[in-house]
Amino acid sequence: MRWVTLAYNPVSISLYSRYGIYPREPLYFMECPLQNVKKADDDGELTSELAEDFQAVRKVLKTIDMDCIGYPREKNHEFLFSLPSYKCYIYASHGKPLGYAYVAQNGRVGPVATVSENSFGYVVESAIGFASQEEKAPSVSVNVTGSNEKLMKLAFRHGMKIRDNFLLMSSKPFPNISRYVIYPTGAML
């Protein structure tokens, strides 16, 4: 069992912990004004393409998730593709898929997953750039896991501020999420 709860809700945290669901990871909802978004450094090796058909990219998304977090999230992807407010970008190098990023019309970024540490920063930066170009976006936001120093530094580089803090809780330890950005509501788990 896994979910997200408010970090400042000790009653819920204690209740969940009594049943073996422990706090595992701090999660920060971070946000910045559109004008703070800096242009991503160009990585000539990586390309991005808007994915419009879930069935066409289903296998690619599954492969990336298996490599990144160790399990498939097909139902989550299918749900996100059904929402007109979300776009999915697939990132590749020399035709080989290396990651994906979702961007919402309201400027939220996530989920994001990559198969390598090297491409993670570029994919997140690119997704933040796409989010800042959304017409309905009042700001750009991302959920940042506390243990992901690269992601934390990237968020602060854009002048993002912590707007709320949560805890990822689970009955078992999380997979390595150093190459993963959690869905804005924590629904990735």
Residue pointed to by tokens 């997200």: 4
**pLDDT tens digits along 91-111:** 999 999 999 999 999 999 999
Q: What angle do CA 42, 51, 136 make, to 5 degrees?
A: 75
**Of 1-5, 15-19, 41-45, 181-185, minimum mean pLDDT range:** 41-45
Rounded CA-CA distance 71/186 in Å is 16
Average pLDDT, the chain: 91
- Closest alpha carbon to 144 in 171, 169, 162, 121: 162
Domain 29-165+175-181 sits in CATH at 3.40.630.30
**pLDDT tens digits along 46-88:** 899 999 999 999 999 999 999 999 989 999 999 999 999 999 9
Query: What pLDDT band is residue 186 in, cutting at 50, 70 and 90?
Result: very low
pLDDT reading at 2 higher than 90: no
DSSP state of 65: H
Beta strands 108-114; 139-145: pairing state: parallel
Rounded CA-CA distance 184/56 in Å is 24
Domain extents in the chain: 29-165+175-181
Whether residue 75 contacts residue 62, with contact meaning beta carbons closer than 8 Å, is answered with no
**pLDDT tens digits along 139-182:** 999 999 999 999 999 999 999 999 999 999 999 887 778 999 98
Strands (E), the chain: 2-6, 22-33, 46-51, 86-93, 96-104, 108-114, 139-145, 161-170, 180-181
Rounded CA-CA distance 162/32 in Å is 9
- Closest alpha carbon to 61 in 93, 97, 87: 97
Tell me the pTM: 0.92
